Amino acid sequence: MKMSWRQLIPNAITLVAMSCGFFAILVTLEGMGNPEAYQYHRWAAQLIMLAMILDGLDGNIARRLKGASELGAELDTYVDMTAFGIAPALLIYVVSLQASPTWRVLMTTAVVLSGVVRLARFKAHDPHRGQMGYRGLPITVSAGWVAVLVYFSQTLRAEWFSLSQGSVATLFIVGVMILIVLQVSNVRYPKPSKRMIFFVPSIILVMLLFVPLVNNIIRFMPDEKAEGLALISSSLMVLMGIGYVMFGPWLHKKPASDDSL
C-alpha cells in the first residue's frame, strides 16, 4: 500500500504509541519478583500515559496534515487494546489485589472484556471515529486511572497508599469497576484530544512525570523536588480525570442528525 508523507507521519506516531503499550507489558512482567519491582511498575505506568498522549496526538496531526487513512484508524484500535486494555489489566494483576488470586483474575478479565466490547462497539457503530464524541467512556480514561494511581503509589511507596490492601486499594478497585461499566454504557462523552482544554494540560502533566527520570541524567534539581513535582502532576491528572468523568456528558453536544454514536 502506497502511503503519502501526510499519512506516514501520524501512522508513525501511532506505531510509537503501540510500542509504548507493548513495552509497558514487558516492563510489568520484568518487574515480577524483582526486589526493585516498584521501579518497573512506575515505568510501565509512565509508558501507558505516554501512549495516551501519542494516541491523541496522531489524530490531531492527521487532521491538520489531511493525512487521515483507513490504515491509521485500524492501527488506533490495536493501540487502544494493547496500551489501554491489556497493559493496565496486567498492572492491576501485579500491583493490586495480591491477597485474592481469584478476584485478581476476575477483575482483570473484566477490564479486558470491557475494553474489547467498548472498542468493538466503537468500530461497528461510530462512522465518525469519535470525532463527534463517544457513546460510552473512552478506554483511555480507565487506563489513565490505573496508570496514574500506580505511578503515585510506586513513587510515594507509603503503607497508607498501598494498592494491594486498605482503603486506598478499595477506592482504586471501585474506581476501576465504575469506569469499565461506563465504558460500555450509553453515556455520551466528548473526544478528550479534540478539546484543547483537556488535551494540552494532559500533555504538560504527563511530561512532568518524566522529570525524575530526566533529573537522574542531567541533575538540574534535587531528587526530592523532582519527585514532588511528578507527584503533584499525577495528583492533578487524577482530578482532571474525575472532572472529565463527572462533567464530560454535559460538555458533549450530540449531533442533531446522528444517532449512531
Question: Could you read off the pLDDT of 14-63 as tens digits, one per residue?
Answer: 999 999 999 999 999 999 888 889 999 999 999 999 999 999 898 889 88
Q: What amino acid is encoded at 119 in this protein?
A: L
189: helix, strand or coil? strand
In this prediction, residue 260 carries a pLDDT of: 36
In this prediction, residue 220 carries a pLDDT of: 86
Instruction: Check: CB of residue 130 under 8 Å from CB of residue 119.
Output: no
How far CA 9 is from CA of 76, 92, 181, in Å, comes to 14, 33, 34
pLDDT (mean) for 247-251: 86
Positive or negative torsion for Cα 127, 52, 248, 162? positive
pLDDT (mean) for 155-160: 87
Which cell numbers hold the place of 38?
Answer: 516498584
Residue 250 confidence class, pLDDT cut points 50, 70, 90: confident
Which cell numbers hold the place of 83?
Answer: 496500551
In this prediction, residue 134 carries a pLDDT of: 84
In this prediction, residue 43 carries a pLDDT of: 95
**Beta-carbon contacts of residue 155 (< 8 Å; ≥ 6 apart):** 42, 212, 227, 230, 231, 234
Instruction: Check: CB of residue 119 under 8 Å from CB of residue 139.
Output: yes
> Which of the residue ranges 96-105, 169-178, 179-188 would you say has the lowest mean pLDDT?
96-105
Average pLDDT, the chain: 87
In this prediction, residue 158 carries a pLDDT of: 86
> Which of the residue ranges 8-17, 58-67, 75-84 would you say has the lowest mean pLDDT?
58-67
> Cα separation of 4 and 188, whole Å?
34
Grid coordinates 491509521 are at which residue? Answer: 72
Residue 261 confidence class, pLDDT cut points 50, 70, 90: very low
- pLDDT surpassing 80 at residue 217: yes
Residues facing residue 135 across a β-bridge = 188
Which cell numbers hold the place of 82?
Answer: 494493547
> Cα separation of 112 and 89, whole Å?
7
Domain ranges of the chain: 5-251
Q: What percent of the chain has pLDDT over 90?
A: 52
pLDDT (mean) for 217-230: 89
Q: What is the DSSP string of 95-159?
A: HS-TT-HHHHHHHHHHHHHHHHHHHHHHHHH-TTTTTT-EES--HHHHHHHHHHHHHHHHHH--G
- pLDDT surpassing 50 at residue 224: yes
Q: Is the pTM of this model over 0.95?
A: no
User: Looking at domain 5-251, does it have CATH number 1.25.40?
Assistant: no
Which cell numbers hold the place of 14?
Answer: 501511532
> Which of the residue ranges 33-47, 118-132, 195-209 would you say has the lowest mean pLDDT?
118-132
Q: What amino acid is encoded at 215 in this protein?
A: N
Residue 258 confidence class, pLDDT cut points 50, 70, 90: very low
Apex 201 CA angle, 72 and 45, nearest 5 = 65
